[in-house]
């Protein structure tokens, strides 16, 4: 099943910052976002529920990996909706 991605302002800002400061990381983030559009079950995403966040209407938030076992690895936080076949990207951030 394919999805359309919708970005919250924080996620757009993160993409803009990566474009300016870390173009190689941006390329990896864009690859991850592409996989999310076409195959959320792709093993490299390691998608799982993330219990410390909720969407604006209390949606269940998920975390997908951009990188793994890498210092400064990025993660994408998202939820399903608001429409069918839409994923809302909440944040693109460094893994703590």
| Residue 96 CB burial class (10 angstroms; 0-12, 13-18, ≥19) | exposed
Containing H/E element for 87? strand 86-94
pTM comes to 0.92
Q: What is the pLDDT of residue 75?
A: 95
**Residue-wise pLDDT tens digits, 18-54:** 999 999 999 999 999 999 999 999 999 999 999 887 7
Other CB atoms within 10 Å distance of the CB of residue 26: 19
Instruction: With cut-offs at 50, 70 and 90, classify the pLDDT of residue 96.
Output: low
Task: Answer for the pair 95, 73: CB distance below 8 angstroms, yes or no.
Answer: yes
Domains of the chain by start residue, with CATH? 4-94 (3.30.2310.20)
Helices (H) and strands (E) in the chain, counts: 2, 5
The angle at the Cα of 53, spanning 49 to 57, to the nearest 5 degrees, equals 100
């Amino acid at each position: 099943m394919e999805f359309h991605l919708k970005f919250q302002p924080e996620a757009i800002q993160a993409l803009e910052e990566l474009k300016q400061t870390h173009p190689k990381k941006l390329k990896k983030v864009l690859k991850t976002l592409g996989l999310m559009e076409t195959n959320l079950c792709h093993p490299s995403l390691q998608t799982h529920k993330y219990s410390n966040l909720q969407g604006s209407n209390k949606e269940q938030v998920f975390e997908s990996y951009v990188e793994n076992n890498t210092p400064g690895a990025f993660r994408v936080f998202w939820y399903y909706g608001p429409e069918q076949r839409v994923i809302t990207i909440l944040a693109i951030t460094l893994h703590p």
